[in-house]
Amino acid sequence: MPAITYELVKQDPVTGARAGIIHTPHGSFPTPIFMPVGTQASVKAVSPDELRDLGAGIILSNTYHLFLRPGPELIREAGGLHKFMNWDRAILTDSGGFQVFSLGDLRKITEEGVTFRSHIDGSKKFLSPEVATKVQMDLGSDILMAFDECAPYPADYEYVQKSMERTTRWAQRCKDTLTREDQGLFGIVQGGMYKDLRTQSAKALIEMDFPGYAVGGLSVGEPKELMYELLEHTVALLPQNKPRYLMGVGTPDCLVEGVLHGIDMFDCVFPTRVARNGMAMTWNGRLIMKNAEYTRDFHTLEDGCGCYACRNHYTRAYIRHLVRAGEIFGLRLLSLHNLYFLQDFMRCLRQSIMEGRFTKFRIDFLANYQMNAKK
């Protein structure tokens, strides 16, 4: 029995949208799902208890950051990342590839791997398919990601082709390195904005038979229409019986469109990052809490919301005060609200698939979303 398995529960009859369950050594969770990001072994400002309370079944953590600090040896000694951070549900770790390639002039790529300078102390570091996989084995995450290059946008055909081919070779090396049977390694389809390269990438990875596949290299600055086009093309190539993960996407419109095309998993720092900037996500658009209109607004962030902040009747006026006064508790309340909102949003998406009304849900939501965006 592989560590990670996907169970299809219901397929939307009209679109690619699907409801499922992913089983991991640290529990099962319904899909489609949004994964809160705990970059440095902590979802910023939020406790594991609070994550459980708001319904998160899996979180993401970053290999790059944990590799540099506190280091994989320490986390292994602590009993793995779950125990280190006190989170007993599933964890997905990325490979660090995205971060080291983002370092620009500070890194050097060879076939073997990437040499780079730590952003913390400037020391010389090296990540490769083997190292990234071993680090993730030390972390003990349920789902590991292959070490890949996320090609920039725009990039010419030749660059993207070479990069994708190297990523494919690296995926095999990651697979050859992984020996723990309680972990599942996902391959990442690359190929930039070129459909034929996406096809080559997907085919090669499927050949290697990973327990799940991510679509990487999207949401990197390209127009949304182009992203959706590539997404549709790519997902159509992937097997039905494996989870599909769209990396780094977390705004409601992109989540809906990702689900439309058959994506099961998403992650993004968006909900917690904007919370720390004083923004609340709601079904009726975003609230900038510093705005004067909330000064005497004694309603909760969202009527009927079940998040910690709303169900305990914290008002917009109070949260505005906390944000303006720079109080940490304000960021906590907004982080909890935004993370709950996305969990709730995904539950509603799933429910609409289960009840055969996904298309109506999507059209209604997007109409409302675009109207609010214009306000």
Taking CB under 8 A as the rule, does residue 282 contact a second copy? no
88 catalytic residue (yes or no): no
Does residue 267 have an active-site annotation? yes
By the rule CB under 8 A, 331 interacts with a second copy: yes
Q: Does the protein bind a second copy through residue 118 (CB under 8 A)?
A: no
Q: Is 310 in the site for a second copy (CB under 8 A)?
A: no
For the chain, the three-class secondary structure string (H helix, E strand, C coil) is CCCCEEEEEEECCCCCCEEEEEEECCEEEEECEEECECCCCCCCCCCHHHHHHCCCCEEEECHHHHHHCCCHHHHHHCCCHHHHHCCCCEEEECCCHHHHHCCHHHEEECCCCEEEECCCCCCEEEECHHHHHHHHHHHCCCEEECCCCCCCCCCCHHHHHHHHHHHHHHHHHHHHHCCCCCCEEEEEECCCCCHHHHHHHHHHHHHHCCCCEEECCCCCCCCHHHHHHHHHHHHCCCCCCCCEEECCCCCHHHHHHHHHCCCCEEECCHHHHHHHCCEEEECCEEEECCCHHHCCCCCCCCCCCCCHHHHCCCCHHHHHHHHHCCCHHHHHHHHHHHHHHHHHHHHHHHHHHHCCCHHHHHHHHHHHHHHHHHC
> Which positions from 10 to 49 touch a second copy by CB under 8 A, shown as an x/- string?
------------------------------xxxxxxxx-x
Q: Which residues, 72 to 111, sit near a second copy by CB under 8 A? A: 74, 77-78, 84-86
Residue with smaller CB distance to a second copy, 44 or 347: 44
Counting contacts by CB under 8 A, is residue 213 touching a second copy? Answer: no
Q: Given the residues 12, 138, 148, 267, select the one marked as catalytic.
A: 267
Q: Pick the closer one to a second copy by CB: 173 or 321.
A: 321
| Per-residue contact string for residues 44-73; x = within reach of a second copy by CB under 8 A | xxxx-x---------------x---xx---
The residue ranges that bind a second copy (CB under 8 A) are 40-47, 49, 65, 69-70, 74, 77-78, 84-86, 295-296, 298, 312-315, 317-318, 320-322, 324-325, 327-332
